[in-house]
Structure 1
Amino acid sequence: MYDFAIAGGGIVGLSTAMALGQQYPDARIVVLEKESRLAFHQTGNNSGVIHSGIYYKPGSFKAQFCRDGSRSIVEFCQKHDIDYEICGKVIVATEEKELTQLEKLYQRGCENGLGVTKISAEQVKEIEPHVQCLAGIRVPTTGIVDYKQVCQKYAEIIASQGGDIRLNTKVEKIATITSNTHVIATNNGTFEARYLINCAGLHSDRLARLAQVEPQAKIVPFRGEYYELVPEKRYLVKTLIYPVPNPDFPFLGVHFTKMIDGNVHAGPNAVLSLKREGYKKTDFDWQDFIEVMTYRGFWKLAAKHADAGIQEIIRSFSKAAFVRSLQRLIPEVQADDLIPTHAGVRAQALMDDGKLVDDFLIIPGENSVHICNAPSPAATSSLEIGKAIVKQIPAPQHTPVAINI
């Protein structure tokens, strides 16, 4: 019998397991991961950005956890000798109509306490010499890291705490046989646990329903496709370069991201994936496809953002269109400067009314908790999310609770 079972070996599941081990040193903890390695999906395919929190509504989980997480993840990297860089980023307006939204972003950055500054086009060029714009914002706390390395360290700490990590172990059924015992059937044996924590990312809504919890939303997968600059053109980007996002569209737009390994990624676009784990255009799963096509929330979202969605699809199939979007930021970039690189899939929770869940969604159940929306900036926020989840969980009955006097 385990005290805690965590479904999902991504960065949120691992940070939660680690936080539980720190809070309850005698607790028996197991992480169940269906893949052959940890951080296989969202965590292992993201851009590696340590986000600042500038985009998020003040007071929201995302704003709070991202701001605090950008500090705690850096402290964690320093403590454990993980490579990172606080390089900062610029958000730039390339058209007059974007200046109002740029000002709103600046005000939000100030409200979130991020130390942002408004900079002129000339000052942008001092940071990013190849960018053409009208004005910009400097966000000094943004950084880069390899989150797979972070997850590996999380896993090492979990093991040192006595935690159990089971790979190739897919949760298939969940039964509650008493008020405080979950029986979790997997393809690799059955596990009993007093408390269940669902951090299953792309499948979090399905696991919630297996546990008889209504997640209030459905996960809709969006694939983000990237190019990277060829080595001889990496000099075009010094830090991170973002456009002013369209306030009517729920994605940030294509941008340039310097990676911790020296590569420079360009993207992503955002297109519906026809499979929850569909990293290629040809990936298809009939069940996943039918779920989305019969979900009224998706069609309401599609109707609201039809024009922008069509542009994303065009960029997906036309490199020339993708390049034109990038040239709004750096006019020198040419098609020959870019080669395709791996895509990522964002697990985005969508409600029946067609609205995207714009904050982390954490749903309590009977002796369980379900993280049903944790896309970006979840990696940046992982330590804070883990601590927040642990605060919601009662102490194991057999484990003495430490009291600070």
Structure 2
Amino acid sequence: MADAIVNLALEQLLQITTQKIGEEVRLVGNVENEVEKLRSNLEAIQAVLLDAEERQMKGDRAVRRWLDKLKDISYDMEDVLDEWNTEIMRLQFEGELEHAPAPKQKVPSFFPCSCFGIKQAVLRRDIAQKIKELNGKLEIINKEKDTFKLEKLKRIEGPERVSSTSFVDMAEICGRESEMNSLVSKLLDERNEKQRDLPVISLVGMGGIGKTTLAQLVYNNDKIMSYFDTKIWVCVSDPFNEVRVAKAIIEGLECLTTDFVELESLLKCICQSIMGKKFLLVLDDVWSEDYNKWKSFYHCLKNGSYGSKVLITTRNERVASIMGSVAPIIMEQLAQEECWLLFSQLAFFGRSLEECEKLEKIGREIVAKCKGLPLAAKTIGNLLRFKGTRDE
């Protein structure tokens, strides 16, 4: 549990400082050093969490108290990072960041840049102070771990990342209507039909937010199915293996030739197969920031008919930009009630109305901790399906 919380905090840090680097970091002044310390402390603690969790399960109360303190700080950290990210998005929406010129030199946090104004300067100092306070608490936790002589245990490697497919159960989906309508509209947009460039559309968001599910929903949408001549779904994942991806595209196009091994031959096959066809290619779970791995595919795919589109899902907005995506759709957390509906249909499956009513209060408290992540709601909902009492 602690490992999952620390992982989430690290991912939020990555999302803010790497995925959206620029004006957003300047929003909180000269705080990069504190953020780097925060990341370093989290990674040092993360390295020994497996040993700590095993020790607490064996009854080590001191380690259990240490883990409880870590969880409390991690939850506080999530709140601060959420506040930071929310303000970034608000300022972007209002246009206050988009047109703000980058300062030519670092500006001390007590001396606000003229482009932000008093309110933004106050917010900047407030968030910077909270991050500094959190760092102080986390440094204490980090030092305390040394007294327990925790070891860096190697995790038993699990199975390979499960490949996604285009199949989805519509009945299990809650919310996402507005995002789906927006995405369908972009895919059906014909304003680029007279241009030579192949439009790349992207879904961007943290892990578990529902990018793949939304892509699946749209892939199976009636309007999409009738608009495109052919559709191909490829789970790219990490690393980006060009030959494997090329072969997967060829399989999706149902080409007869499957014995090519060189990328050049594979791309020629794709190029010939899509000629005159209006296609939709979905590249799910893209991580690579190497433009050279994508460049050959892009030039090859431009041989398709006007109206063809490429849809990618990625956790990293930089990846979307490198692949030529303009105005990505940023996936946000589910609304609390939508998250509850998703959770309850799994956790309360097969229960009586009376039993559901008894468990609803604690169920909603659990859903609040899912932070609007549909994957978290589904995973925990499935686990709790077999728990019969409130204590369980």
TM-score bracket, normalised by the shorter chain, equals under 0.3
Greater C-alpha radius of gyration: 2
More strand by share: 1
More helix by share: 2
Higher relative contact order (CA 8 A, sep 6+): 1
